[in-house]
Amino acid sequence: MDKAVGQGTVEGFRAPPISEKEKNAIIGGVLLSMLLAALDQTIVAPAMPTIAGALGHAEYLPWVVTGYLLTATALAPLYGKISDIYGRRPTIYAAILIFLSGSVVAAIAPNMLTLVIGRAIQGMGGGGLFALAQTVIGDLVPPRERARYAAWISGTWAVASIAGPLLGGTFAEHLHWSLIFWINIPLGLLAMAIINNPLKKLPVAGRHHSIDALGAVLLIAATALLLLALNWGGSTYPWVSREIGGLLAASAVFWAAFAFRLMRAAEPLISLEVLGNRIVLAGTLSMFALQAANVGLAVFLPVYLQSVLGLDASASGIAMLGLLLGTVAGATFSGRAIPRFVHYKRIAMVGALFSVACMVLFALLAASASLLVVELLTICIGLGAGTTFPVCTVSVQNAVDKAHLGVATGVLTFLRSLGSALGVAMLGAVALGYGLPLGGEALRVGAHVTTAEPFAMIYLVCAVMTLLAFVTLWMMPEKTLRGHAPEGAAQPE
């Protein structure tokens, strides 16, 4: 690894060298900021009964989750564009400050409406933190070595998935629910202090550009309407209702208007060069399908563990560690192996097929599997799926030049978040079709389930979505990774 990273001239600006110590400080700081945003997707759910008791209007509780999801997903591509134009440091600072502002609003909320507004503001910052953390790592580390840091990102998500529910339940039960949001303030300020000086040395990739405001509005509207339909379908309203049909139709209109705007704008929000890149297209679609399968599986696995295997809530949480740790282990292996393989995408393809086989086996054994068998299968599913995330991320970032790195990463983050929402909604529809009790964002864990058939179908659907990810990976062109290639290896421009 070079001792100085980030050198180079970008449109006449020469960035001072970044030392190895500064580089690690930046990566630690941005991962801490990503941890904040990831925690707030998981920390609230256990405290919802307590929050409803304190603030009333329990019927609006789903909006505490949906408000965050809507703004975080819709704004991710916009942050990528802004950071490409104005630089990473001011953009990530703005995202952290917006996130912390929302945390304060949520913490002091006197009623449910204020809490939902605070969560929406949090999401406006959180969407940027997801995209910018990966973008900054992309600035600092060449693609050939970048995959090694994917395990850190996967580990961050794993910590959030485990620590979030534990902290949320502890704060709500033994202290006060507002600590769920107050805890963000010292952590956010710490992240800003860590990355303050080193981030000044990152060059700005583009200058004298503008933000397509109309395109941004169209994208946000299209995304928000689609997510509302996915969240309300099957719970608040039937999937075939006029309300859901109207939301989907309105979303389609805004998506069409956004596509038209991309073709006509002088400087579109998402570059047509990026969208037309076959590697970016295949990589982001693979991430979309993979996330739909993995998040859907993670949401329904605790219900299976409690309803079919009879575990209590705490034991099912511990049993989830197999899936999470397997994913981190798979990402770590993939990240270390990518620089050693010429045809690096084969790592992800083999991992995806292995995950599909394990999901199919899980579906076949759902009615009779012991806890040990479930743990082994979920570890293997996580191992296979984990290998795919570094390959998708590095492939997409390697396919574009530095001026479009933020936009490409923003699109990847956007489709990853959209895949999560679609996966939960799709599997929720399957569960409802087989009579599995659901309740909006939260599953009615503990309800009596007489058969494992709904879960078998859920695992089969997850297998199909993972297989679609394999197909898109297979179709994705392979481009030699920039960076520290072996002696004599070709280096693309």
What pLDDT was estimated at residue 303? Answer: 76
What pLDDT was estimated at residue 439? Answer: 43
> Whole-model pTM?
0.72
What pLDDT was estimated at residue 202? Answer: 66
3-state DSSP of the chain: CCCEECCEEECCEEECCEEHHHHHHHHHHHHHHHHHHHHHHHCCHHHHHHHHHHHCCHHHCHHHHHHHHHHHHHHHHHHHHHHHHHCHHHHHHHHHHHHHHHHHHHHCCCCHHHHHHHHHHHHHHHHHHHHHHHHHHHHHCCHHHHHHHHHHHHHHHHHHHHHHHHHHHHHHHHCCCCHHHHCHHHHHHHHHHHHHHHHCCCCCCCCCCCCCHHHHHHHHHHHHHHHHHHHHECCCECCCCHHHHHHHHHHHHHHHHHHHHHHHCCCCCCCHHHHCCHHHHHHHHHHHHHHHHHHHHHHHHHHHHHHCCCCCHHHHHHHCHHHHHHHHHHHHHHHHHHHHCCCCHHHHHHHHHHHHHHHHHHHHHCCCCCHHHHHHHHHHHHHHHHCHHHHHHHHHHHCCCHHHHHHHHHHHHHHHHHHHHHHHHHHHHHHHHCCCCEECCEECCCCCCCCCHHHHHHHHHHHHHHHHHHHHHHHCCCCCCCCCCCCCCCCCC
Q: Which CATH architecture does the domain made up of 15-210 adopt?
A: Up-down Bundle (1.20)
Q: Mean pLDDT in runs of 10 for the chain (493 residues)?
A: 42 55 76 79 70 71 74 78 77 88 89 86 84 76 69 71 70 76 86 76 58 79 82 75 88 89 76 78 87 80 78 69 82 80 84 93 87 88 87 82 74 79 76 62 48 84 92 85 49 37
What pLDDT was estimated at residue 124? Answer: 86
Q: Which CATH architecture does the domain made up of 275-481 adopt?
A: Up-down Bundle (1.20)
